[in-house]
Structure 1
Amino acid sequence: MSMMKAAMVESFDEPPHLRSVPVPRPHSGKELVDVLAVGISHATRGAAAGKHYTSPKSLPALAGIDAVVRRKNGDLAFVMSPGTGSLAERILVDPKDLVPVPRGADPAVVAATMNAALSSWVALKARVHFEPGQSVLVIGATGNAGSSGVRVAKHLGAARVVAAGRNRERLDGLLAEGADELVPLTSDEAATAVAYATAAAEIDVVLDYVWGPPAEQAMQAILSARTEHTRILDWVQVGGTGGMSITLGGNALRHNALRISGSGFGSVIMEDADLPGLSAALASGLVGVRPHIVPLADVEKAWAHVDRPGERTVIVP
C-alpha cells in the first residue's frame, strides 16, 4: 500500500499533526492530483479548531479547506475542499470542481491570495450581483481578506470604494490600492459614527468582515444618515471577527431598503462566481499577499506562526 504524508486534525484543541496515511485510490470519477500549496487562512485554522461551519464532524480528519494542485497532464488548478481536507501530498478531487490556474503562475502566491480574495469576489459576483459603477464599503479592510476586497471591488468596476479598519498604517496604505475614502475605526464611537455617516451614507454594497457589535454601530450610523431610503443597500456578512450575532430593530428594515445576506460555502452557486476569472486576475497580480512558505513536515510550527499584515502562511508538501 502506497503511503503519503498528511496533516491530520486529531483534536480540536491541538494543531494538526504530521502523519503517514494511505494514498487515496481514485473512484467514482474522482481524480488523484498532487498538492502543490495550501494557504493557512483564518477559515482553515477555524475549521481545524472546530470553530468554523466547515469543521469536520468526526476526527481524525484531514486539515485544509483548499489547495493549488497539479493534474496528471501538468495543468495547475485551484480546488476548494471544505469538509474533506487538502493538507496532504495528494488528494482526490472532482474534476468539475477544479478552477484552472494559468501556466507559469506561482502556486504559493495563488494559495496565499486565492482564499483572501475569494470572499469578496464571490460576494460581488454571485451573492449581490454587483454592477460596475456602484459603490462599496469594506468593513475590516485592514486584514488580508478585507484589503483584497478593496482591490477586487475596484477591479470589478466600483466607482467608489470606502475602506474601514483599525490598523491606521495599513488603512492609509489602502489609498494606493484602490480605496477612495477611509473610515478609521477607533474606541471613540461617536467619531466613528460620524466618519461612517460622512463617507458611506449612500453606499450600495457593504462587505462586512467584522459583524457583531461593530456592525450594529456601522448600520445605525449609515442608515441614520441615508437620504435615499428606497435605494437598495446590500449588506453582506463575510466574516465575524467582531462577533457572530447582532441586534437589529425592525424599524431599520421597514424604513430602509436594507438587504442582509451572508456569503460563504453553501450560500452561493459557485458556477455563477467566475472563479477562472479570479484565478487569472490573481495570477496577474491583482492581490498582493506575500506567502510565508513552510514545508508540510513543519505543519505544527506553521500553525503557531502569526502572519504579519499582508502575509499568509502557505504549506508546501
Structure 2
Amino acid sequence: MKAAIVTEAGVMPTYSTFKEPKETEEELKVNVKASALSNLTKMRALGKHYSSTQTFPIVAGTDGVGTLGDGTRVYFAMPTAPFGSLAEQTLVNKHLIVPIPDELDDVTAAAIANPGMSSWGALVGRAKFQAGQTVLINGATGSAGSLAVKIAYHLGAKKVIVAGRNAEKLAKLGADVAVSFDMTAENGAQNFETKLAPYFQEGIDVVLDYLWGDSALAIMLAGAEAGGDHTTKFISIGAASGQPEISLPSAVLRSSKIEILGSGVKSVSMKNLLIAIKGVFDWAAADKITIPTTTYDLKNIAEAWKAPLTPRAVIKVN
C-alpha cells in the first residue's frame, strides 16, 4: 500500500510503499480517508515527542478518519506500530475508535479532533470545569486556541479571556476580553502581568495554556500577585512558544492557590481523550462547527509537512 514513511528519527516522511496491515480480533483494519497534520503527529513521527516510543521505519500519523470493513465511518487514534494514519490502510486497537456523526464530513472530523480534544479534555478531564466559571486561554489565535474559545462557551463559561501576541486576531475571536502581549518589548512581561491583574482579582478559574514560556510564567506571577482565596487551575496543554522550560519561583505556589496540571497523552487516559473527541464531534455536528483547512493528496506529503499549523493541513487518502 502507499504510505508516508519515516525511515529514521529526525527525517521527514516520504511517499512510498509499505506492507499492508492484517486484522486480528483486537486490531481492526481501517481504510483511511483523511488525516490531519497536528503538531503531535509531526513530533511523534520524528521521535521528538515525550510520548514517542517507536522504532523505525514507521508510517507517520497518529489519528485520522476512515471506514471499517463493514463501511462504518470512524475516527481512530494511535494506530498500532509500525502503522500510522498517513497510509491507505492502518491497524487500530478496537477500543481506540469513535463513530463519526453523519453530519460531519471526513475532512472536518479529521481536522477538528485533535485541537478540539485539547481544550475539551483539559476543561472536563483535568480542570473539572463547571458552568459559570471564568477561563483564560493563552495562545488563543491558533487552531486549537481559537476552537477552545468556542468550546469554553459551549461548556458554559461565564467569561472567556484570550491572550496572545496578535491583538487584531484576538479581537476577532468573540471572547469577552482580549489581552495582547509582547514579551520582546522592554518590560513586556511586567506589562502583561499588569493587564491581567484586574481579571485575577475578579477571579480566573481555569487557564488553558498553549504556549508555556515567558507568557505562562507571567500569568502565574500575575495570579500569585493578585492574592485572594480564589483557586486557579493552570492547565499546560502545549509549548508553542518554543520555550519548553521556565524558572518558576517556589513562592508562587506557596503564596497562592494556583494549581498546575498538564493535559495530553498520558496525563489524560485514552478512554477520556476519546470521550472528549466524541463530545467535540457531537457538538460540531449539531452546531455545524468548522475550522480552516487546506487539503493535500497523500503523494504530496512533503509539501503538506512543511505547511503551517493554521489553516490545518489535512491529507486526503482514499
Alignment TM-score > 0.5, same fold: yes
Cα distance between partner residues in 2 of 1:198 and 1:82: 46
Which residue of 302, 306, 316 maps to 2:304?
A: 302
Q: Would the alpha carbon gap of residues 136 and 286 (structure 1) be closer, same or farther in structure 2, given more than 3 Å must change?
A: farther
Cα distance between partner residues in 1 of 2:261 and 2:221: 17
Moved more, 259-268 or 5-14: 5-14
Deviation of the 1:198 alpha carbon: 2.5
Which residue of 277, 280, 291 maps to 1:278?
A: 280
Q: Would the alpha carbon gap of residues 96 and 212 (structure 1) be closer, same or farther in structure 2, given more than 3 Å must change?
A: same
Q: Would the alpha carbon gap of residues 286 and 166 (structure 1) be closer, same or farther in structure 2, given more than 3 Å must change?
A: farther
Deviations 1:270-311 (CA, angstroms, capped at 9, x unpaired): 43444322211123356531221101011111112235x4x1
Cα distance between partner residues in 1 of 2:104 and 2:290: 14
Which residue of 8, 13, 16 maps to 2:10?
A: 13
Corresponding residue for residue 240 of structure 1: 239
Corresponding residue for residue 76 of structure 1: 73
Name the SS for the 2:151 alignment partner.
helix
Cα distance between partner residues in 2 of 1:293 and 1:32: 24
2:24 matched to 1:23? no
Measured on the aligned residues, the alpha-carbon RMSD in Å equals 1.8
Deviation of the 1:238 alpha carbon: 0.3
Deviations 1:88-145 (CA, angstroms, capped at 9, x unpaired): 1111112221111101421111111111111101111111211111111100111111
Cα distance between partner residues in 1 of 2:79 and 2:129: 26
Structure 1: segments with no counterpart, 5+ residues:
none
Cα distance between partner residues in 2 of 1:200 and 1:74: 51
Q: Which amino acid aligns with 2:52?
A: S
Q: Which amino acid aligns with 1:22?
A: K
Cα distance between partner residues in 2 of 1:137 and 1:286: 25
Cα distance between partner residues in 1 of 2:277 and 2:113: 10
Cα distance between partner residues in 2 of 1:9 and 1:27: 25
Deviation of the 1:56 alpha carbon: 4.5
TM value normalised by structure 2 = 0.91
Structure 2: segments with no counterpart, 5+ residues:
none
CA contact (8 A) 1:33 1:72 kept: yes
Deviations 1:144-170 (CA, angstroms, capped at 9, x unpaired): 111111111111111111000112221
Deviation of the 1:183 alpha carbon: 1.0
CA contact (8 A) 1:65 1:83 kept: no
Cα distance between partner residues in 1 of 2:123 and 2:297: 34
Name the SS for the 1:50 alignment partner.
coil
Corresponding residue for residue 65 of structure 1: 62
Cα distance between partner residues in 2 of 1:275 and 1:269: 12
Q: Would the alpha carbon gap of residues 74 and 297 (structure 1) be closer, same or farther in structure 2, given more than 3 Å must change?
A: same
Corresponding residue for residue 216 of structure 2: 215
TM value normalised by structure 1 = 0.91
Deviation of the 1:83 alpha carbon: 7.1
CA contact (8 A) 1:54 1:82 kept: no
1:154-173 matched pairs, under 5 angstroms? 154-173=153-172
Cα distance between partner residues in 1 of 2:115 and 2:297: 21
Cα distance between partner residues in 1 of 2:119 and 2:289: 12
Cα distance between partner residues in 1 of 2:71 and 2:299: 24
Q: Which amino acid aligns with 2:250?
A: G
Name the SS for the 1:123 alignment partner.
helix
**Aligned residue pairs: how many?**
307
Corresponding residue for residue 226 of structure 2: 225
Q: Which amino acid aligns with 2:94?
A: P
Cα distance between partner residues in 2 of 1:166 and 1:115: 23
Deviations 1:20-56 (CA, angstroms, capped at 9, x unpaired): 1121111242111111110001221222233212334
Moved more, 147-156 or 75-84: 75-84
User: Percent sequence identity over matched residues?
Assistant: 35
